[in-house]
Amino acid sequence: MAPSLCIKCQKERAVIIRPKNRHKLCRECFLSVFETEVHETITQNSLFQPGERIAIGASGGKDSTVLASVLKTLNERYNYELDLCLLSIDEGIRGYRDDSLETVKRNAVQYSMPLVIVGYGELYGWTMDQVVEQIGKKGNCTYCGVFRRQALDRGAERLGIKHVVTGHNADDVAETVMMNLLRGDLSRLSRGTSIVTGSAASDIKRSKPLKYAYEKEIVLYAHHKQLDYFSTECIYSPEAFRGSARTLIKDLEKIRPSSILDIVRSGEEMAVLVPMANGGQPAEEESAVGGCGSQNGRTRGGEMAEMEKTLAQNEVAAVLETEIKIPSQQNGAVPIPKRQTKQPKKQVLGKCERCGYISSQKICHACTLLEGLNKNRPKAAIELELDAEEEESSTTLRRQMEEVQLAG
């Protein structure tokens, strides 16, 4: 078969089939199409103001590396006049973070951007490895997610920056839509789909310029641009709702590649229909993306089973309920004061009494978690080892990438 030509320039040989729409493109055209699409996302949603200082939440992974590279390119090409810098969080997970931080350090040099690393250790007095020693492998994603959210904000604050961009891609957003549908959490669903988050009370804005970019295309972009990134998944904890949603989305993508974008679209439509979604946005203490804020964020295992149990109990309780009818009111009788119908609880944002972080409670989630941790300190240290299985996962992406690439 004769090699097909790029459908855009009609000159070069096509080397890529776009996962999104199966268009055949040459390297140059793919890179330019990808960049243009991100540019359109940025301009259509007016994400940035000229002169704005932006912190890129950088993990060293493919998404944030591509984000940093594309933003640098676009900033120069279209004259955004942005002042970009990299902001990294060191959760203190040996074997996962120290290697990826090395990548971020190299990125900082490659893109000539300043880099700030904020550690859980210095912020909270606990690294994730220490948290895991204390509470075990189960359920630690809650800690990581809560800590991370604050850490990015605090890091940005330290730099005097009011806008953090993260590398969430279309697959992440689609996953969040499906996951929150399964979990029955409409307010998270609506928050997860919006491109800019951050409540009025918080002065730090978050946005996701890669919201419409496919994960597979991000991998392709990184590959063809020969970006230096670190590919591994967090070594802790299995998944539940997110895992289920992820499997479903991978299957959907096989049937109809546009599904990911279609789900994002559905999510945007649904977000409009969520009661109260536009009014008082609930306080965002945890990451909008679920348990852990990382790209590979996973919720605690067994969460689905737990929810099933609660729902089953509610069902049993509902059967036992007896409807009591109030007898029709007689003349002259004193009216029985009607019980007020329960209004959806509105969250009021205040500041945490301990750390001053925005919180709807007296003490913010992070401080509550810390209190629990500190109570039981000290404990014997346990050495952590990497499973052979975890090591393997780093090759997954490379394999996926090879699959989507057009055979030369």
Partner 1 sequence: MPGKPLSNTCVDCRNADYVLTIRGRSLCRECYIQFVGYKVFKRMEKYRLRRDLPINGPCSVLLPLSYGLSSSVLLHMVHAQVQRLLSKPHAPPGFELQVLIVEPSSISSSSPPHNEAFQLLQQRYPHASFTKLPLHSVYEYVPGLGDILSEYAGPGFADDVSLPPKDRLDTFRGSITSATSIADVDSVLLNRLIVAFAKSLRCFGVVWGDSDDRLAAKTLASVSKGRGSSLTWQVSDGTSPFGVEFTFPLRDLFTSELQNYANFFPDLTDVIIPDTPLSDNILTKNLSIDQLMMRYVSSQGAKYPGVMSNVTRTANKLQASRITTDGSRCALCETLICNPKGTSSHFQLATDSNQFCYACERSRPGLS
Separation of alpha carbons 140 and 236, rounded Å: 8
103 binds partner 1 (CB under 8 A): no
* Distance separating alpha carbons of residues 30 and 260, to the nearest angstrom: 19
Cite the DSSP H helix spans in 111-199.
120-124, 128-135, 140-159, 170-183, 186-193
Q: Does 401 contact partner 1 by CB under 8 A?
A: no
Which member of 81, 308, 371, 391 binds partner 1 (CB under 8 A)?
308
Indicate whether 307 belongs to the interface with partner 1 (CB under 8 A): yes
Q: Binding partner 1 by CB under 8 A: which of 3, 11, 44, 377?
A: 44
Closest CA to 130 of 148, 150, 144: 144
Query: Of residues 184-243, which lie at the interface with partner 1 (CB under 8 A)?
Result: 184-186, 195, 212
Q: Is the peptide bond before 50 cis (omega within 30 degrees of 0)?
A: no
Q: Is 184 annotated as a binding residue?
A: no
Is there binding between residue 305 and partner 1 (CB under 8 A)? yes
Phi, psi of 303 (to 5 degrees): -65, -35
Asked if 193 and 264 count as a contact pair (C-beta separation under 8 A), the reply is: yes
403 is an interface residue for partner 1 by CB under 8 A: no
Q: Can you list the alpha helix ranges (DSSP code H) found in 184-281?
A: 186-193, 215-224, 241-255, 259-273
Helix (H) or strand (E) holding 161: none
From candidates 256, 346, 379, 398, binder to partner 1 by CB under 8 A: 256
- In this complex, which beta carbon is closest to partner 1, that of residue 45 or of residue 199? 45
Is 59 annotated as a binding-site member?
A: yes
129 marked as binding residue: no
CB atoms within 10 A of CB 15: 21
With binding defined as CB under 8 A, does residue 116 bind partner 1? Answer: no
358 is in an annotated binding site: no
Show the beta-strand stretches assigned E in 305-373: 350-351, 358-359
172 is in an annotated binding site: yes
> Which region among 79-87, 266-274, 321-329, 334-342 touches partner 1 (by CB under 8 A)?
266-274
Binding mask 313-332 for partner 1 (x = CB under 8 A): --xx--xx------------
Annotated ligand binding at 68? The verdict is no
E strands present in 7-99: 16-17, 24-25, 53-57, 83-90
Site residues for partner 1 per CB under 8 A: 37, 40-41, 44-45, 177-178, 181-182, 184-186, 195, 212, 244, 248, 251-252, 254-256, 258-259, 261-263, 265-275, 304-305, 307-308, 310-312, 315-316, 319-320
Binding site, by residue number, is 57-59, 63, 89, 167, 172
